[in-house]
Amino acid sequence: MKRFYRTLCLLCLIATVICIPCALFMTTWRFGLYFFAALCACTALMCKLLAWRDTETGVKQRISKWLVRIGHVLFLVWLCSFVGIEGMIVSGTRSEVQQPIEVLCVLGGGLRGDQPSQNLKNRLVVAMDVMKQNPEAQVIVCGGQGADEAEPEATVMRRWMVQHGADSSRIVREDQSHNTVQNIENAMKICEKRNWDTQHVTVVSSSFHLFRIRHIMRHAGLTPSVVSAPAGDPASAVLMYIREYFSVVKLIVSGYW
C-alpha cells in the first residue's frame, strides 16, 4: 500500500502543478487545483502514517495502526462512491427529449469577461439549433451574476444569441439564480407568470450536467427532457466531470435527491 499511496501522491502533485497556471484565469482549473492538492495532502498523510506504523513502537505504533485502518476505510468508501456516482453521471450524458418543446431553458455555464465561456457557447449554439427546429418554443436563459462577473450570465447569453441571429422576442432572461436548482425553480416561476406550458419544458446544458438535471426536474414535478451540449476541451471536461461528483453529493446531502 505504501507504493500505491506514494504513486497517487506523486500523480496528484504533478496534476496540481499543471493546474496552477490555468487556475489564475479559469474557475474549472481552480477547482482542479484544489481537488488534486487536497488529494495529494491526504495521500501524503497516509504515507506518513504508514511510515509511523512500521518504525514506531508501543502506544504510537498502535495508534498509527488504527489511523491507517481508518484511512484505508475512508479512502475505500470515497473511491467506491466516486466510481459509482461518476458512472451514473457518464451514463446520463445523452439527450432525452420529450416532444413537443414548448419552453426551452438554457442553463448558464460561466463567463470570460463580457463573453460566454466556451462551455456556455456550446450550450447556446445547441439551444439555437433547437429553436430553429421548434419555431413555437419560448426560451428562458438562466444565470445570475457571480461575484467576479460584471453582469448576469442571462444578460450575456441573450445578447450573444441575438447577435448570432436568434429572435429576441422569444428569449426571456432569468437572472437571479446562482445554482442549478434555482435555475429550474426560477424558470418555472417565469413560466407560471406568463402562462406557459410547464408540462413540456426541455433543458439545454452540458453533457456532464444532465444526470443531475434529470433528478432536479423530477423533484420539481417536471418530466425530464434534456438536450446535451459538448463539454468543451478534453482537459476541462475531465475536471468538470470530477466537479460534478461533488455537486451530486451536495444534492444528496441537501435532501433534494
As a whole number of Å, the end-to-end CA separation of the chain is 36
Phi/psi of residue 248, each to 5°?
-65, -45
Confidence tier at 129 by pLDDT (50, 70, 90): very high
Residue 203 pLDDT: 98
Of residues 49, 46, 53, 50, the one with CA closest to residue 76: 46
Contact 109, 123 (CB under 8 A): yes
Whole-prediction pTM: 0.89
Identify the weakest region by mean pLDDT among 9-18, 49-58, 171-180, 195-204. Answer: 49-58
Higher pLDDT, 211 or 58: 211
Averaged pLDDT, 179-196? 95
